Amino acid sequence: MESYQIYDYDVLVVGAGGSGLRAAIAAMEKGAKVGVVSKSLLGKAHTVMAEGGVAAALRNVRSEDSWQVHFRDTLKGGGMLNNWKMVQNYTQEAPDRVLELEQWGAVFDRTPDGRINQRNFGGHTYPRLAHVGDRTGLEMIRTLQDHAVKLGLNVHMETTLYRLLTDGDKVAGAVGFHRNTGQFLVFRAKAVILATGGLGKLYQITSNSWECTGDGFALASMVGADLIDMEFIQFHPTGMIWPTGVMGLLVTEGVRGEGGVLKNSEGKRFMFDNVPDRYKGEFAETEEEADRWLNGDRSARRPPELLTRDVVARAIRKEVNEGRGSPHGGAFLDIASRRSPDYIKKKLPSMYHQFMKLANLDITKESMEVGPTCHYMMGGIRVDPDTQRTNVSGLYAAGEVAAGLHGANRLGGNSLSDLLVFGRRAGLSAAEYAGSQPEAAKTDESQVNALIAEALEPFKSGGENPFALMQELRTGMQKNAGIMRVEEELKAELEILAALKPRIWKAGATGGREYNPGWHTALDLRLMVEVAEAVVLAAQARKESRGGHARLDFPDPDPTFAKLNHIVRRTSQGLTVVTEPLPEMPAELRTIAEAKLVTAQGGS
């Protein structure tokens, strides 16, 4: 029998990115005994890669901004499929959460009068993103990390959770292993918060780091938690497409926020021809007007390059498909002709560095080549909009792994403040729940032993190379369930996944248990194949195009689907899709959400 080490916590937080750390801080402040598990070293989570900024209606640059306008922008960007209560909580609390970071030591860029500066971003009516150049995520994670350490953070670094443990119908902890040693660990916890981030690694071309294998979606689903909106995956319009090795690497929307424009091979700014009906009248109609906006003329409307990500990504794809793409199959993103070299280096230092270093390209002189890259999961674990509680007792979720806030498409900058607002809410409610549980969490030894044996199977199986299987999984998802979807391909993908699953479960590992990436990958795959199936099933169910979900066979939004969410639920027969009506928005909020922008442009 394998030995394992036991840790007891009130609240176990899974993930040490923005939402996990914010949750841990909130739970510690409530007096809970908190443990954080992180697959990487502290401070390396994917949050670190966030670039452009954190959205909150601070009103530092434009006093006309308010939570109401942010509320409207978020719902409009999300195809009105968002959970209205989450959007309300979020837009109302985001400013406080950002200011709190400053009080914990974050140093944001400043306005001339010494307050936190805010920049423009796609889908946001006003400059709303607090930022630090183009490394806002690093600033945020370091601030949260420092503050959590100050509070006495207890972190298990480089630790992977294999499965959640249950006691009857409630969560009782988790079993995992320390990656460096291969030693198994059992965490007994009254409450567990999943803050595991996204699933970009399901796709071949992604901006996500290796960690984003979608663990949390699968871990939750395996103990009976509902997943919602799994069809909505955001393909960020501007990823690097050359050289091949860095394909997918993010090029911040901040480039467009700072004035960058998209052009096709004919030198045409094609976004002017791609303004969807719902945004008609809100964007500049000529280059001349867009230029006036860039120069600070408040009577001019915003350039169409600042449309939402779903719209821009599909427009780029259309240019490429119609033969007007860049040499490596994307579009040109030009900031060089719009801003001075000094300005670019000051405002977009890591973009400058990234292109200089990886592509031998000086963005202050030349255009970048960009194309869509899998970036963000709008869907995920279904949670209560106030407490982040899932439908499984003791299980909470926050950040990218949780769903509801972003609906069908997320606005840039809304993720970082999502992490803060709902990380905190999850931490508070999990700590409160744990405090109300009279008895210590109990785990079942036979359950633990069975899971450990299962996790060690790859060493015995002599099965296929896990890296090759990973490649196969990602290629299939990219081809059949990517940015544009169609019934036959989705159906084919389900068959591919069904055939892959038994092979994945037999994947082999060579070598020992200490820091063995082959073994880790073999285990990651078991979760990834479940998540992939949930995505494909939901994509198949939604026979319309909306936000991040685009169907070639159903190219338009459909009013029937506008009123429902898809829930992916595990039954004894496997994963099934159930439809449910959207929660009804109160009339006064609906008025805000559907408001036409009269004051938004130029204060007229």
Partner 1 sequence: MSTVQFKVFRGDKSGGALQEYPVEAQEGMVVLDAIHQIQAKHAPDLACRWNCKAGKCGSCGAEVNGKPKLMCMTRLDELDISQPVTVRPMRTFPVIRDLATDVSWNYEVNKRITPFSPPPNTDWRMQQEDVDRVQEFRKCIECFLCQNVCHVLREHDEKTGFIGPRFLVRVASLEMHPLDTANRLPMLKDAGGIGYCNITKCCTEVCPEEIHITDNAIIPLKERVVDEYYDPILAFFRRLFGTKKRPVSGAGGQAADD
Interface residues with partner 1 (CB under 8 A) are 40-46, 48-49, 99, 102-105, 107, 109-110, 113-115, 132-133, 135, 137-139, 142, 146-147, 149-150, 157, 180, 209-211, 242-246, 249-250, 350, 353-354, 357-359, 465-468, 471, 509-512, 514-519, 521
Nearer to partner 1, 314 or 339 (CB): 339
Peptide linkage before 243 cis (omega within 30 of 0):
yes
- How far is residue 526's CA from residue 68's CA, in Å, rounded to a whole number? 43
E strand spans, 54-108: 54-55
E strand spans, 291-419: 331-334, 368-377, 380-381, 395-397
Amino acid occupying residue 407:
G
Nearer to partner 1, 224 or 508 (CB): 508
b/e map 440-478, b = 16+ CB within 10 Å:
ebebeeebbeebbeebbbbbeeebeebeebbebbbebbb
* Residue 569: both structure tokens together: 């639920």
* Residue 334: both structure tokens together: 């030009």
Minimum Å distance from CB 137 to partner 1?
Answer: 8
Nearer to partner 1, 329 or 518 (CB): 518
List the catalytic residue out of 256, 382, 424, 546.
256
Minimum Å distance from CB 485 to partner 1?
Answer: 27
On whether the CB atoms of residues 420 and 26 are closer than 8 A, the answer is no
Nearer to partner 1, 154 or 449 (CB): 154
* Residue 106: both structure tokens together: 């974050």
Nearer to partner 1, 386 or 514 (CB): 514
b/e map 151-175, b = 16+ CB within 10 Å:
eebebbbbbbbbbbbbbeebbbbbb
Minimum Å distance from CB 59 to partner 1?
Answer: 15
Nearer to partner 1, 74 or 209 (CB): 209
On whether the CB atoms of residues 215 and 196 are closer than 8 A, the answer is yes
CA atoms within 13 A on the CB side of 557: 15
Minimum Å distance from CB 212 to partner 1?
Answer: 10
The distance from CA 268 to its chain's CA centroid, rounded to whole angstroms, is 31
- How far is residue 514's CA from residue 527's CA, in Å, rounded to a whole number? 21
Minimum Å distance from CB 467 to partner 1?
Answer: 4
Minimum Å distance from CB 476 to partner 1?
Answer: 17
- How far is residue 248's CA from residue 354's CA, in Å, rounded to a whole number? 13
What is the longest distance spanned by two Cα atoms in the chain? 74
Under DSSP, is residue 214 helix (H, G, I), strand (E, B) or coil?
Answer: coil
Is 131 annotated in the active site?
Answer: no
- How far is residue 253's CA from residue 243's CA, in Å, rounded to a whole number? 20
Minimum Å distance from CB 591 to partner 1?
Answer: 34
Nearer to partner 1, 252 or 480 (CB): 252
Nearer to partner 1, 109 or 291 (CB): 109
Beta bridge partners of 567: 228, 578
- How far is residue 9's CA from residue 274's CA, in Å, rounded to a whole number? 52
Under DSSP, is residue 345 helix (H, G, I), strand (E, B) or coil?
Answer: helix
* Residue 395: both structure tokens together: 């299980």
On whether the CB atoms of residues 216 and 401 are closer than 8 A, the answer is yes
List the catalytic residue out of 156, 163, 236, 389.
236
Minimum Å distance from CB 383 to partner 1?
Answer: 26
Nearer to partner 1, 140 or 313 (CB): 140
Minimum Å distance from CB 152 to partner 1?
Answer: 9
The CA–CA distances, whole Å, from 407 to 73, 228, 411, 415, 563 equal 12, 10, 10, 12, 12
- How far is residue 165's CA from residue 9's CA, in Å, rounded to a whole number? 14
Is 309 annotated in the active site?
Answer: no
Query: Of 94, 172, 80, nearest to 557 (Cα)?
Result: 80
Amino acid occupying residue 576:
T
On whether the CB atoms of residues 56 and 67 are closer than 8 A, the answer is no
Nearer to partner 1, 387 or 478 (CB): 478
Minimum Å distance from CB 200 to partner 1?
Answer: 12
* Residue 49 main-chain phi, psi, to 5 deg: -85, -10
Nearby residues of 573 by Cβ (< 8 Å), 6 or more positions away: none
- Show which residues are catalytic: 236, 256
